[in-house]
Amino acid sequence: MTDSFHSRLDRLDRRRDLLTQTLRGIEKEGLRVDASGVLAKTPHPASLGSALTNEKITTDYSEALLELITGTHTGVDALLDELRDTHRYVYGKLGRELIWNQSMPAQLPAEPEIPIAWYGTSNTGMLKHVYRRGLAERYGKRMQCIAGLHYNFSLPDAIWSELDTPGDTLQDRRSAGYIALIRNFTRYAWLLMYLFGAAPALDRRFLDGDGGLETFDADTLYLPYATSLRMSDLGYQSEAQSQLKLCYNDLDTFLGRIYGAVTQPWPEYEAIGTHRDGEWIQLNTNVLQIENEYYSIIRPKRATGRCERPVTAMAERGVQYIEVRCLDIDPHEPIGVAADTSLFVDAFLLYCATADSPLFPENGYCTRSEDNFATIVKAGRKPGLMLDRDGEAVSREAWATDLLAGIRACAEVLDRAYGGDRYAQAVAAQHVKVDNPDATPSARVLAGMRESGLSFTAYTLAQSQAHADTLRQVPLTGALLAEYEAGVAASIEAQRKLEADDAIDFDTYVARYREALKTPPGFVRASSTLA
């Protein structure tokens, strides 16, 4: 912890009222399965409303992959209360189906039988569907069944002045502040995977072959010291994406490289084409179909309007918030996340925003951070594990202890802002995991499988059923139930109106969507999108 870090943190402490204006939100995925733990091939339940327009309940890549979305909240309790209420509402509509409470999938059918998410016949809905068809062509449908938890986070605008963030305008300072936060997140995200990774095993049928994994039992593959196979090279990977090196030194260069990726053709995807038997199978043949296809552990974000492109919106209006994308579903929690996790992530992100954040070398890309992350997700609990900190070998325990000291300092400021000591207690709870790897969620999953004698699938099914029983015990009633029902009805009407109001055909809509992408200031084709 440097003098400059302490100076910035002291200024935040004096303006701690600002910290209570911090906003956080969650997008939590969960695969629908039947009572036997097999992927549900039923359509998205009509009783949950339109997956296209329901603001709380939608689907992600697969039709069976629910995504439950909270609003933004100034406190963790309200955030998790909403997420819990949405789970309770959904369980009131699922019948005998369950939400698979694990990041790695349940038992899947043959690849052609995995349903791609459907959003109706409007141009907006078809764009989302065809994009997902493209993902199936590029990465396979099984990868569309991996689930995670996304944590959205924003700080109040006035904080950037307290942190001495450079920039001529508020928009410039805000964007520079979030990009600096992302650089630090990239450096230190390995710690989140060690502390909260919860996917050390998977169903053997998920892979063709063993994927370099070891045998746990006849139905399960695993790595003995893995924390999150979801975030390893078993997830969304392709030669195109592996060569895409984004820059987090400044927003313009980052947007320029994303723009290059969504406009640069890729030979393998050109060979697939955009149509088959007269139907769209991908939006284009570029490295990325759209900006969101880039699979990253964190993203700068900006809300967009219909048919507005993220690159264009961010170039014009700057970064609005960040989205943390590397958190696994917590299989030990009915709603997939614990309060201590949310509290710790808040303190961790505040640390990333406050700590010194030097620019990355290597044209803005940090291979060292990527290597540390890859080591932790596949072998994070290995005794004697060493990581690379600024070119020097350091033990996992020593570096984690150093980071937790800085994160605790941020937690104490948050506690003085909110009252109580919950943030400090959440950080203290992580010291136990640093001292004892067996206390980590990934180790607890493997220990639970061994003690029960169950395979990964059978063990997760039992947990998911227990969580379903817990959530169903207290169904929604009264005004809260009426609020959710009204949201369902409104979403169905909103989709109907979109479909009725479309005045152009889908081909024209796709062309206009492409035309909506404007060249950002940081794009220089000669510099090459791919490293």
The mean pLDDT of 194-216, rounded to a whole number, is 95
User: Cα 531 vs. chain centroid, distance in angstroms?
Assistant: 25
Q: Would you kindly state where each structural domain of the chain is located, as residue ranges?
A: 3-527
3-state secondary structure at position 174: helix
Segment 227-243 mean pLDDT = 80
Render pLDDT for 395-452 as a digit per residue (tens, 0 to 9).
999 999 999 999 999 999 999 999 999 999 999 999 999 999 999 999 999 999 999 9
Which three-class secondary structure string do you get for 138-172?
A: HHCCHHHHCCCEEEEEECCCCHHHHCCCCCCCHHH
3-class DSSP state for residue 72?
coil
Q: Which pLDDT value is given to residue 478?
A: 96
- Show the tokens assigned to 110: 């043959």
Q: What's the whole-number mean pLDDT along residues 7-26?
A: 96
Query: What integer best gives the mean pLDDT of the chain?
Result: 95
Cβ proximity of 372 and 194 under 8 Å: no
Q: Which of 228-232, 241-245, 524-528 is least confident?
A: 524-528
Cβ burial of 78 (10 Å; 0-12, 13-18, 19+) is middle
Check: CB of residue 206 under 8 Å from CB of residue 143: no
Positive or negative, the CA dihedral 519, 525, 530, 531 is: negative
Distance between alpha carbon 195 and the CA centroid of its chain, in Å?
16
Using a cut of 0.85, tell me whether the model's pTM lies above it.
Answer: yes
Maximum distance among all Cα pairs of the chain, rounded to whole angstroms: 64
pLDDT of residue 457: 97
280 φ, ψ (degrees, to nearest 5) = -65, 135
* Cβ(363)–Cβ(531) below 8 Å: yes
Q: Cα 20 vs. chain centroid, distance in angstroms? A: 24
Q: pLDDT digits over 38-72, tens only?
A: 999 999 999 999 999 999 999 999 999 999 999 99
- Residues 489-519 have pLDDT tens digits of 999 999 999 999 999 999 999 999 999 999 9
Residue type, 67: E
Q: Which fold has domain 3-527?
A: Creatine Kinase; Chain A, domain 2 (3.30.590)
pLDDT tens digits for range 297-326: 999 999 998 888 999 999 999 999 999 999
What are the beta bridge partners of residue 299? 323
The answer to whether residue 531 scores a pLDDT higher than 70 is no
DSSP 360: P
* 8 A C-beta contact, residue 227 and residue 327: no
Q: Return the pLDDT at 366.
A: 82
Three-state secondary structure of 185-220: HHHHHHHHHHHHCCECEEEHHHCCCCCCCEEEECCE
